[in-house]
């Protein structure tokens, strides 16, 4: 970057480089659109790119993908998942013990808990939804101690 370009970058609003800072003149008919795009969050910009790709049946070029991947100033970092669904995959050998645990943690009746555990024969079943990480891990450990297989989603 030349010294002249560096001065323009330093003088630009908010310290953010703008297309005109690097010798790329934005035609007047596109200035408003470019300004609106500059104000989008990274997530909104990525969504816009996907919409345009689908609408026009094209793929974004590498420079656009790189711009979309750069986090915006002040953007929140990706957070670790803190809420899980506890999924019973297989009851194991101690089915009665698993039914008791399911009944206790879900406040279901004996028949409903048994039906849920029996239904794992046709596929995994959700025991409890939207559980905090600590509670989900504790429940998983409790159920696995009696021989059942559990996943956290």
How many Cβ atoms are within 10 Å of 46's Cβ, its own excluded? Answer: 16
- The answer to whether residue 74 is domain-embedded is no
pTM over 0.85? The answer is no
* Domain identity same for 108 and 146: yes
Domain shared by 49 and 103, yes or no: no
Cβ neighbours, 10 Å, residue 113 = 21
* DSSP sequence for 18-66: -GGGGT-PPPGGGHHHHHHHHTS-HHHHHHHHHHHHHHHT----HHHHH
Give the chain's domain count: 2
- Asked if residue 9 belongs to a domain, the reply is no
Check which CATH number belongs to the domain holding 141 and give it: 3.30.1390.10
Q: Are residues 92 and 35 in the same domain?
A: no
Separation of CA 30 from chain center: 33
Question: Same domain for 92 and 147?
Answer: yes
Residue 4 inside a domain? The answer is no
pLDDT in tens, the chain (153 residues): 444 444 554 444 455 555 555 556 888 888 888 888 888 888 888 888 888 878 877 776 544 444 444 455 555 555 678 889 999 999 999 999 999 999 998 888 999 999 999 999 899 999 999 989 999 999 999 999 999 999 988
Co-location of 87 and 148 in the same domain: yes
- How far CA 59 is from CA of 39, 46, 56, 69, in Å, comes to 23, 13, 9, 15
Residue 127 sits in which domain range? 83-152
């Amino acid at each position: 970057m030349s010294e002249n370009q560096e001065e323009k970058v330093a003088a630009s609003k908010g310290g953010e480089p703008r297309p005109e800072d690097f010798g790329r003149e934005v035609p007047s008919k596109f200035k408003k659109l470019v300004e609106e795009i500059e104000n989008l969050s990274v997530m909104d910009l990525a969504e816009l790119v996907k919409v345009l790709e689908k609408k026009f049946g094209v793929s974004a070029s590498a420079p656009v993908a790189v711009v979309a991947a750069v986090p915006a100033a002040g953007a929140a970092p990706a957070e670790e998942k803190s809420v899980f669904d506890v999924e019973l995959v297989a009851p194991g050998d101690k089915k009665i013990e698993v039914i008791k645990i399911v009944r206790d943690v879900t406040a279901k009746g004996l028949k409903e808990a048994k039906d849920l555990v029996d239904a794992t024969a046709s596929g995994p079943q959700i025991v409890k939804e939207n559980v905090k990480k600590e509670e989900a891990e504790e429940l998983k450990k409790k159920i696995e101690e009696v021989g059942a297989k559990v996943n956290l989603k």
